[in-house]
Structure 1
Amino acid sequence: MHGERKSWNGAAAIVMAENQVLMVKEKESGGWSIPSGGIEAGETPEQACLREVWEETGFRVNILKPLHVKRTIIKNHDVALHYFLCEVTEGQISYHDPDDAIEEIAWKTSRELYGLIHDYPEDRELLLSF
């Protein structure tokens, strides 16, 4: 059918350490966001979250708890993005993303979050709540 929306499901990680949040900067937009990406076939949202954090930042994380699911429509897709609060278990900043979409990975303080260009500005309040 023409005009029928597709679904896209993703997972996003709020990774906290010492009152800083792990952020990635997209090459294309120049904006910052938390590590996130699509859920692949056969993956749970939790598995996708762990994989995306590893690919985009080089850190292995534990999920502390699921937070919420953001539902929105982007470019004719019904988007459901699962948010998880995570902690680092091991690793250091490094890059394994097959999409090669990230230009910078950094820990940001709440004060720094205010000054960043956010790809998803609606996430800023959520990030600041931690």
Structure 2
Amino acid sequence: MSSTLITWNGAAAITVLNDKLLMVRGKGTTSWGVPSGQIEIGETAEQACIREVSEETGYTVMIKEALHTKKTVIGNYDVTTYYFLCEVVSGQITYHDPDEIIEEIAWKTYDELASLQHDYPEDKEVLLSFVNVR
């Protein structure tokens, strides 16, 4: 019996400030990822990216450029995630995630990124490429 995959489209923000990358850690996990989430009905990938950063971190960002699109299958989901390079416009770290899934928000250095557990290990090298070694 074949199972039908559920389509899931999302957006992710690679946000760098002072050679550090904005990362979030979800509740009940030790791994980290960039702010990201599902694109809602009527929303563009860019709008979803900006909203997710605000919801998950408290920062308002603007998109500098579209980076790449990752397609993968996770469980029963056919996942497409649009990655954007973002710049902080305003705000500060604030916990007001409506989904209540974020445990910790932090700016990570190159060395910290290299040693921490990633939600999506396949993204590690790409993320490291955005942060300069000091």
Q: TM-score, normalised by structure 2?
A: 0.93
Shift of 1:30: 2.2
CA distance in 2, matches of 1:21, 1:51: 18
Correspondence list, 1:1-130, <5 A: 3-130=3-130
Shift of 1:74: 0.7
Alpha-carbon displacement from aligned partner over 1:60-115 (angstroms, at most 9, x marks no partner): 00100000110000111110000000000000000221111111000000111012
Amino acid at match of 2:68: H
Alpha-carbon displacement from aligned partner over 1:25-57 (angstroms, at most 9, x marks no partner): 111322100000000000000000000000000
SS at match of 1:50: helix
SS at match of 2:28: coil
| TM-align CA RMSD | 1.2
Q: Count residues in correspondence.
A: 130
Please say if residues 24 and 34 of structure 1, whose CA atoms lie closer than 8 Å, have aligned partners that are also in contact.
yes
Q: What are structure 2's unaligned runs of at least 5 residues?
A: none
State the percentage of identical aligned residues.
60
Shift of 1:2: 5.9
Amino acid at match of 1:6: I
Q: Segments of 4+ in structure 1 off by > 3 A?
A: none
CA distance in 2, matches of 1:95, 1:83: 23
